[in-house]
C-alpha cells in the first residue's frame, strides 16, 4: 500500500505545528499556510530570468486608437503574426496562453538608487542593484567598500517554495547561470543554492539513491522513487538559516524534530503521479535542458517552484560575430536615450538577442503544454513568468518587458495589457523625466493571490523618491486575473 502524507496532518502527528508556526513567523512575518483544493492539480510557478533587457522597439506592441492616459488592453487573438512585435512573434501560435504586460517598473530599484546617490564606499552599479532586487523587491544589502551588494530579503521564488513546502519534494529549485551575482535568496545576504549544470541538477533530484546491483531495468516507480531523495538533504541550507534565526530552545527543538523526521521519512512510501515520466535527456541548448528538467520535476511533483537563469548569450548564438560583445558593443548603444551614441546595428542585435530567448521560452511552454493534466495541461496550472534584469539595455528600470504564460485558471491570458504611466520617479540619461506604471512587486503580490494567500505587499510597502516623497507599492494588479 502506498501512503500519501499530508503536511498538516504530519505536523500535528509530530507535535510540530507550534514550532512550524513560530519558525514561519520569525522568518516570514506570518504563519505558512497552504492553499488550494487537494483534489485539483497543484498550482506551480516557474521564473525565467534573463540578463540585460529588451529594446523598446523589439518587444512593445502598438495599440493605435487606444488612450494613453489610462490602462488599456487588446486581445492577442485578433492580431496577425506580423502585428506582434519581433520578440513576441514566436508566441503567435500560443498567443491565447500568454499575457505580455507593458509599463511595469522595477520600482524598488529606483528607490534604492535614489537613496545611494552621492554616497561613497557602496555598490551602486545598476546591474548589481537590479539583480539584488529582481526577485526580492527589497533594499539591497551593502557589504562594505569594494564589495558587491546582494539581496536584502527572501526572494519571491523561495517565499512561495517555503509556503508550499511538503516532505518529499524540494521547496524551490534554482538552475542556470550566474549573471555576476544571484537572483534567488533564502533571506537577506543568503543566496539560495543554484546548480549550473543540467546533469548535476538531475543528479540532485536523484538524491542519495543507490540502485540495487541488478541487470534488471528499473521500473517506472523505482525511477521516480530514485528522484525523491531526503527532504532534509534538499533543504539543508534552509534548515541552517532557520536555526540561526531562532533562540537556543527553538534551535534545540528544531534539531530534535529533524532527527524524528529523518526516521519517519525512511518509513514513508510516496505516491507516484500518473503523468510523471522521470527520464531526462541532456541534449540540445542548455536552456532547453533546464526546461526539460523543470517539466520533469514539476510533473513528478518533486518541486512546485523552479527558477531558470539562462546564460548570457554568445553573439554567435543570435547571428553576430564572435568578436562582438553583448554588453559593451551592443547593449549600451541600442537605445536612443542619451546614454551613449545610438547605433541602429546595436538595436537590431539586441532585438535578435531577445528573439533567441523568446524561442527558448516558447520551447518551455510547449514542454509544459505537452503534459496532460485535469481537463487541460500542466501549463494551465503552472504560471511561467519571464523577467528581465533591467528595464532597458541602457540601465533604465522602467518599461521592463514582463511576460506571463500559463496559469490560465487564474490569469486572463490572450491579451496585451498596457498600464498607464502615472507615476514619475526617474530620469533618463539625458535628464528627461520618465513616468512608469505599477511596481514589479505588485505582480508578485498577484502571484501570491493566485495561490490563495491574501498578502497586500511583497518586499517593500513603499518606495522613497529622490525628493523624499513616497510611492505606495502595495496591492495587486487586478487587470491581469479573473
Strand partners, 341: none
- Across the chain, mean pLDDT equals 83
- Whose cell is 530599484? That residue is 109
Strand 98-102 to 415-418 pairing? parallel
Average of per-residue pLDDT across 339-366: 94
Percent share of the chain, pLDDT over 90: 60
Average of per-residue pLDDT across 168-173: 92
* pLDDT greater than 70 at residue 388: yes
Rounded to whole angstroms, the Cα distance separating 317 from 326 reads 11
Q: In the prediction, which pLDDT does 226 show?
A: 58
Strand 173-176 to 305-309 pairing? parallel
Average of per-residue pLDDT across 171-187: 94
CA angle at residue 92 from 91 to 94, to 5 degrees? 65
For residue range 261-304, list pLDDT tens digits in order.
Answer: 555 454 444 455 556 777 888 899 999 999 999 999 999 999 99
Average of per-residue pLDDT across 22-37: 35
- Greatest extent of the chain over all pairs of C-alpha atoms, in Å: 72
Average of per-residue pLDDT across 441-464: 97
Q: In the prediction, which pLDDT does 474 show?
A: 97
CB 78 within 8 A of CB 396: no
* pLDDT greater than 70 at residue 199: yes
* pLDDT greater than 70 at residue 71: yes
Cα–Cα nearest to 308, from 78, 47, 103, 107:
47
Strand 98-102 to 402-406 pairing? antiparallel
* pLDDT greater than 80 at residue 445: yes
Average of per-residue pLDDT across 384-406: 93
Joined grid coordinates for residue 449 = 493571490
CB 442 within 8 A of CB 455: no
Q: Which of 197-206, 236-245, 403-412 has the lowest mean pLDDT?
A: 236-245
* pLDDT greater than 70 at residue 195: yes
- Whose cell is 523577467? That residue is 387
* Burial of residue 75 (number of CB atoms within 10 Å: 0-12, 13-18, 19+): exposed
Rounded to whole angstroms, the Cα distance separating 133 from 124 reads 12
DSSP letters along 89-154, please? GGGGGGGGGEEEEES-B-HHHHHHHHHHTT-SSS---HHHHHHHHTTT-SPPBP-STTPPPB--S-
Strand 72-75 to 415-418 pairing? antiparallel
Rounded to whole angstroms, the Cα distance separating 5 from 442 reads 34
Q: In the prediction, which pLDDT does 258 show?
A: 59
CB 56 within 8 A of CB 436: no
Mapped onto helix, strand or coil, the DSSP state of residue 369 is helix
* pLDDT greater than 80 at residue 239: no
Domains and CATH numbers, the chain: 42-195+280-480 (3.40.720)
How many residues in the chain? 482
Mapped onto helix, strand or coil, the DSSP state of residue 171 is coil
Rounded to whole angstroms, the Cα distance separating 309 from 317 reads 17
* pLDDT greater than 50 at residue 11: no
* Burial of residue 10 (number of CB atoms within 10 Å: 0-12, 13-18, 19+): middle
Helix axes 248-267, 17-28, angle to 10 degrees: 120
CA end-to-end distance (rounded Å), the chain = 40
Joined grid coordinates for residue 179 = 549573471
Joined grid coordinates for residue 124 = 551602486
For residue range 102-132, list pLDDT tens digits in order.
Answer: 999 999 999 999 899 889 889 999 999 999 9
* pLDDT greater than 50 at residue 34: no
Cα–Cα nearest to 270, from 460, 1, 12, 474:
1
- The contacts of residue 214 (CB under 8 Å, 6+ apart) are none
Rounded to whole angstroms, the Cα distance separating 370 from 195 reads 25
Rounded to whole angstroms, the Cα distance separating 17 from 4 reads 19
Amino acid at each position: 500500500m502506498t501512503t500519501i502524507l499530508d503536511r498538516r496532518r504530519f505536523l500535528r502527528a509530530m507535535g510540530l505545528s507550534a514550532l512550524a508556526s513560530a519558525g514561519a513567523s520569525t522568518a516570514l512575518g506570518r504563519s505558512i499556510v497552504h492553499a488550494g483544493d487537494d483534489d485539483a492539480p497543484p498550482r506551480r510557478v516557474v521564473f525565467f530570468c534573463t540578463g540585460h533587457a529588451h529594446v523598446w522597439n523589439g518587444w512593445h506592441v502598438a495599440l493605435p486608437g487606444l488612450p494613453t492616459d489610462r490602462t488599456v488592453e487588446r486581445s492577442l487573438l485578433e492580431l496577425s503574426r506580423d502585428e506582434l512585435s519581433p520578440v513576441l512573434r514566436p508566441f503567435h501560435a500560443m498567443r491565447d496562453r500568454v499575457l505580455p504586460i507593458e509599463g511595469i517598473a522595477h520600482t524598488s530599484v529606483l528607490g534604492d538608487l535614489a537613496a545611494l546617490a552621492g554616497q561613497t564606499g557602496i555598490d551602486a552599479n545598476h546591474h548589481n542593484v537590479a539583480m539584488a532586487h529582481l526577485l526580492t523587491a527589497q533594499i539591497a544589502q551593502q557589504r562594505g567598500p569594494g564589495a558587491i551588494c546582494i539581496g536584502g530579503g527572501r526572494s519571491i521564488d523561495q517565499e512561495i517554495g517555503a509556503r508550499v513546502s511538503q516532505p518529499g519534494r524540494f521547496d524551490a529549485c534554482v538552475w542556470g547561470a550566474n549573471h555576476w551575482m544571484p537572483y534567488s535568496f533564502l533571506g537577506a545576504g543568503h543566496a539560495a543554492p543554484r546548480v549550473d549544470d543540467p546533469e548535476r541538477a538531475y543528479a540532485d533530484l536523484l538524491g542519495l539513491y543507490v540502485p540495487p546491483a541488478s541487470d534488471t531495468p528499473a521500473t517506472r516507480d523505482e525511477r521516480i522513487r530514485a528522484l525523491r531523495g531526503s527532504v532534509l538533504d534538499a533543504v539543508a541550507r534552509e534548515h541552517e538559516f532557520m536555526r540561526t534565526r531562532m533562540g537556543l530552545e527553538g534551535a534545540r527543538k528544531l534539531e530534535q524534530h529533524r532527527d524524528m523526521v529523518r526516521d519517519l521519512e525512511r518509513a514513508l512510501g510516496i505516491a507516484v503521479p500518473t503523468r510523471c515520466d522521470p527520464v531526462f535527456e541532456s541534449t540540445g541548448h542548455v536552456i532547453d535542458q533546464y526546461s526539460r528538467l523543470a517539466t520533469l520535476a514539476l510533473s513528478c511533483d518533486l518541486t512546485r517552484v523552479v527558477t531558470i537563469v539562462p546564460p548570457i548569450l554568445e553573439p554567435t548564438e543570435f547571428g553576430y560575430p564572435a568578436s562582438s560583445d553583448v554588453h559593451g558593443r551592443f547593449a549600451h548603444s541600442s537605445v536612443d536615450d542619451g546614454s551613449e551614441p545610438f547605433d541602429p546595428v546595436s538595436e537590431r542585435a539586441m532585438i535578435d538577442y531577445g528573439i533567441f530567448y523568446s524561442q527558448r521560452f516558447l520551447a518551455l511552454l510547449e514542454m509544459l503544454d505537452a503534459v496532460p493534466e485535469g481537463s487541460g495541461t500542466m501549463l494551465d496550472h503552472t504560471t511561467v513568468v519571464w523577467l528581465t534584469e533591467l528595464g532597458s539595455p541602457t540601465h533604465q528600470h522602467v518599461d521592463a518587458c514582463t511576460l506571463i504564460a500559463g496559469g490560465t485558471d487564474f490569469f486572463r491570458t490572450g491579451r496585451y495589457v498596457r498600464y498607464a504611466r502615472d507615476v514619475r520617479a526617474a530620469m533618463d540619461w539625458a535628464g528627461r523625466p520618465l513616468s512608469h506604471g505599477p511596481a514589479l512587486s505588485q505582480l508578485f503580490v498577484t502571484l501570491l493571490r493566485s495561490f490563495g494567500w491574501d498578502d497586500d505587499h511583497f518586499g517593500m510597502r513603499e518606495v522613497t523618491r529622490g525628493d523624499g516623497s513616497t510611492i505606495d507599492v502595495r496591492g495587486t494588479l487586478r487587470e491581469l486575473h479573473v
